[in-house]
Amino acid sequence: MSKLYVDLGEDCGGVMKRFLGFAIILFFAINICACSQNENLREESTSISIPISDYTIYSGTWTSNGYAENYIYTQEGGAILSAQIEENHLAATYVYVQNSSYRIASVENIDTEIMDSVAEFDFKDDGWGNSGKVRIVFGEQVSVEINELEKNPDNATGMAISSAVLDRENSTEIDTEEARDENNVDQQMMAREPYRAASVYWSKVVEWDEDNGRYGMDRPLEPILSSNQREYTIEELKNYPEDILYLALNEIYARYGYIFRNEDLQNYFMGQVWYTPLVEGENFSDEVFNEYEKENLKVLLKILNR
């Protein structure tokens, strides 16, 4: 009996030791797991953005690269958001200025609510007959996205409102010499205005633009058609007024500095910032035309029956 008792005691002691060892290991495992979960919670908590409580701080003008609004219109191109915010209600206008051509597309009368730093607004016309949804995201910068864009099939230039990331206006310093350049686009537009006023064609172009929902002063910055970059079809142009087609035909010559004998034509093109008179008619050679221009001349002459 004694021997049996001793043997059993030794076995029980071994079991207890093993049990204690397992308990210690389990204790440390639980603590390690808990620490890991706490660490994950800390990481997750740092990734959660703090909601914006006062959207009125975004009232004002936001532009591409933080440039001055006038610089966007006359020098650089880009986007401009003009916003007025009361609590979480947004009233805004969003303008996109195409680089080099300075054509303008815009979504006006934006009127919507800001929810979780995002405002969305459906628009039916960006000035070129295109429709879609503008989505504005407020953060360190203001991001403007154009979604679900449906382009107007009659939009010959393909111009449309575009997305952009914006900074507060005038947050970027501009070279004052460049900004004051006497040859900047704004000054050239003003200098050439008398030529436009003297041409009977200018009022017809303005009327045509307005009939098609295009407003502003971007027309003197680029020809009516991009006839040196793509080929147009009769179907595309058949509904254009005859005077507009006549100008589109002659601007193929004007692009190369052709000097017109017709006073109204010459005044019209002198009113265009892109036009530089270089060559008298008798010295002009149509060898300068590229393949697009040659084909477009044929199309335009056919429509005009000339």
Q: Are strands 258-259 and 164-168 parallel, antiparallel or unpaired?
A: unpaired
Residue ending a domain, among 175, 192, 224, is: 175
239 with 269, same domain?
yes
224 with 296, same domain?
yes
194 with 297, same domain?
yes
Q: Note whether 165 and 149 are within 8 A (CB).
A: no
Alpha-carbon span 51 to 116, nearest angstrom: 7
Alpha-carbon span 276 to 254, nearest angstrom: 8
Note the pLDDT of residue 175.
Answer: 59
158 with 118, same domain?
yes
24 with 66, same domain?
no
Note the pLDDT of residue 109.
Answer: 94
Place of tokens 């915010």: 85
149 with 208, same domain?
no
Residue ending a domain, among 123, 152, 175, is: 175
254 with 290, same domain?
yes
Helix or strand (DSSP H, E) at 4: helix 2-47
197 with 300, same domain?
yes
What pTM value is reported for the model?
Answer: 0.47
> How many separate domains does the chain show?
3
Note the pLDDT of residue 143.
Answer: 96
The contacts found for 295-302 with CB under 8 angstroms, 24 or more apart, are: 295/231, 296/225, 296/227, 296/231, 296/232, 296/252, 297/249, 297/252, 299/231, 299/232, 299/233, 299/234, 299/237, 300/237, 300/245, 300/248, 300/249, 301/249, 302/234
> Cα 144 to chain center, whole Å?
8
3-state secondary structure of 164: strand
Alpha helices, DSSP H, located in 212-290 = 234-237, 242-254, 263-270
Residue 187 tokens read as 């000054």
Alpha-carbon span 237 to 166, nearest angstrom: 37
113 with 148, same domain?
yes
Give the alpha-carbon dihedral of 87, 93, 99, 100, to 10 degrees.
-150
Alpha-carbon span 271 to 219, nearest angstrom: 10
36 with 65, same domain?
no
The residue ranges of DSSP E strands in the chain, in sequence order, are: 60-64, 78-86, 89-97, 104-115, 118-123, 131-138, 142-150, 164-168, 258-259, 279-280
Q: What is the mean pLDDT of each run of 10 residues along the chain (306 residues)?
A: 41 52 55 48 39 86 92 86 95 90 88 96 95 96 95 84 94 63 68 92 90 71 89 92 96 95 95 90 91 95 90
Note the pLDDT of residue 298.
Answer: 96
Q: Which residues contact 85 (CB under 8 A, 6 or more apart)?
A: 55, 56, 58, 59, 91, 114
Helices then strands, counting H and E runs in the chain, come out as 9, 10
Range of the domain at 204: 182-304
Which 3-state string (H, E, C) describes 41-102? HHHHHHHCCCCCCCHHHHCEEEEECCCCHHHHHHHHCEEEEEEEEECCEEEEEEEEECCCCC
67 with 42, same domain?
no
112 with 199, same domain?
no
Q: Note whether 79 and 94 are within 8 A (CB).
A: yes
Residue 2 tokens read as 């004694």
| CATH number for the domain that contains residue 66 | 2.40.128
Residue ending a domain, among 30, 48, 66, is: 48
Residue 133 tokens read as 């949804």
